């Protein structure tokens, strides 16, 4: 990624009046998660004398930046602008459908998809977003078919493979999901989204570490990838590195309570119960009924010898996620360690 960005910046520096160079730099910056910088460059490129020859891809890339920023109104406005450009009508409708799906507005996205496909049958972008719309509407077989149709029409692109993989993962078909993510990485081995999707779901912690390391190198602001890398490193016992990645995740936007819990679990394994408790409390401030954070809190109390508080928290944690046996196991072991054999039997 650093090499790509350097090359793109060098191309712009050599010819600042080249809209194609500006477009490429904008794409590289967006992919790296540098969304404000991408927006600035794409807007500059759109004002250049030769911008007309690249008007559709420039407008589309601007819309993608707003979509990545989760900004519905600016994204929709940028999508609508595509309709005013020669050859941009069908892409405008597909883009507008994507914007509506930021707010899960499938009922508004569906007509846009129909218009896009009426203008350009089989349009890749429309098929991909159609998969998400049908998925949300509960038309699962049709959703899967939309993703597969899009993927087969352009196997060298990642979006449909990622959509298919996410769908298969959500419908309890993880092996098939991993196959789809493998195809996404095969299509573009530098795409941080594809690397993250595969790295977060492969069974090998060693391979996960390599994939996720590449993802965060390509997009240093990718909080979820930093957290997943922390999980993989923790599983390998590389706690210092795992702590670094958990802390990196917490410096990114969109912090998830799981990231606080991850850091706390690592700190607890390193014997830092008080610091682990602070992480649990930070997670619970975000989501007060977060089962993983409550389990961490219980384990931290147990580590500090506050067994009565720990027992209560283990019970709460299990009540919040009754399919997860971890609170029962931790409770039984913690009670045995604190000379509470009767309570240990109750957890067991």
* Dihedral angle, C-alpha 192, 194, 197, 201, nearest 10 °: -110
CA-CA distance, 7 to 21, in Å (whole number)?
10
Helix extents (H) in 154-290:
159-170, 174-187, 192-199, 205-218, 223-235, 239-250, 257-269, 273-286
pLDDT band of residue 1 (cuts 50, 70, 90) is: low
pLDDT in tens, 280-333: 999 999 999 999 999 999 999 999 999 999 999 999 999 999 999 999 999 999
Q: Give one DSSP letter per residue of 159-172, joined into a string.
A: HHHHHHHHHHHHTT
Please report the pLDDT score of residue 3 as a whole number. 84
pLDDT in tens, 26-51: 999 999 999 999 999 999 999 999 99
pLDDT in tens, 81-132: 999 999 999 999 999 999 999 999 999 999 999 999 999 999 999 999 999 9
pLDDT in tens, 199-208: 999 999 999 9
* 257-269 vs 291-303: helix crossing angle, rounded to 10: 20
What is the pTM assigned to this prediction?
Answer: 0.93
Share of the chain above pLDDT 70, in %: 100
Share of the chain above pLDDT 90, in %: 98
* Distance, CA of 21 to chain centre: 28
Please report the pLDDT score of residue 348 as a whole number. 87
């Amino acid at each position: 990624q650093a090499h790509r960005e350097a090359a793109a910046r060098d191309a712009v520096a050599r010819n600042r009046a080249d809209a194609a160079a500006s477009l490429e730099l904008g794409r590289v910056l967006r992919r790296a998660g540098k969304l404000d910088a991408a927006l600035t460059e794409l807007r500059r490129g759109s004002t250049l004398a030769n911008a007309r020859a690249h008007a559709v891809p420039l407008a589309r890339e601007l819309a993608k930046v707003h979509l990545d920023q989760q900004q519905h109104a600016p994204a929709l406005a940028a999508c609508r602008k595509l309709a005013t450009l020669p050859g941009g009508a069908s892409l405008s409708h597909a883009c507008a459908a994507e914007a509506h799906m930021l707010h899960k507005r499938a009922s508004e996205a569906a007509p846009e998809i129909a218009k896009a496909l009426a203008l350009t049958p089989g349009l890749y972008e429309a098929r991909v977003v159609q998969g998400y719309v049908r998925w949300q509407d509960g038309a699962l077989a049709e959703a899967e078919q939309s993703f597969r149709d899009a993927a087969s029409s352009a196997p060298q692109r990642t979006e449909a493979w990622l959509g298919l993989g996410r769908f298969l993962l959500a419908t309890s078909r993880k092996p098939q999901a991993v196959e789809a993510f493998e195809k996404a990485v095969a299509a573009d081995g530098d795409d941080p989204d594809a690397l993250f999707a595969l790295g977060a779901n492969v069974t090998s912690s060693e391979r996960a570490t390599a994939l996720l390391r590449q993802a965060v190198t390509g997009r240093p602001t990718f909080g979820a990838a930093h957290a997943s890398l922390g999980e993989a490193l923790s599983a390998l016992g590389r706690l210092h590195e795992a702590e670094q990645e958990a802390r990196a995740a917490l410096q990114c936007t969109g912090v998830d309570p799981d990231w606080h819990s991850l850091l706390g679990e690592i700190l607890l394994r390193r014997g830092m119960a008080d610091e682990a408790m602070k992480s649990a409390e930070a997670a619970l401030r975000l989501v007060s009924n977060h089962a993983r954070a409550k389990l961490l809190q219980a384990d931290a109390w147990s580590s500090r010898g506050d067994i009565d508080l720990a027992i209560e928290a283990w019970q709460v944690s299990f009540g919040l996620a009754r399919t997860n046996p971890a609170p029962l196991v931790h409770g039984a072991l913690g009670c045995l360690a604190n000379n509470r054999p009767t309570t240990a039997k109750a957890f067991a």
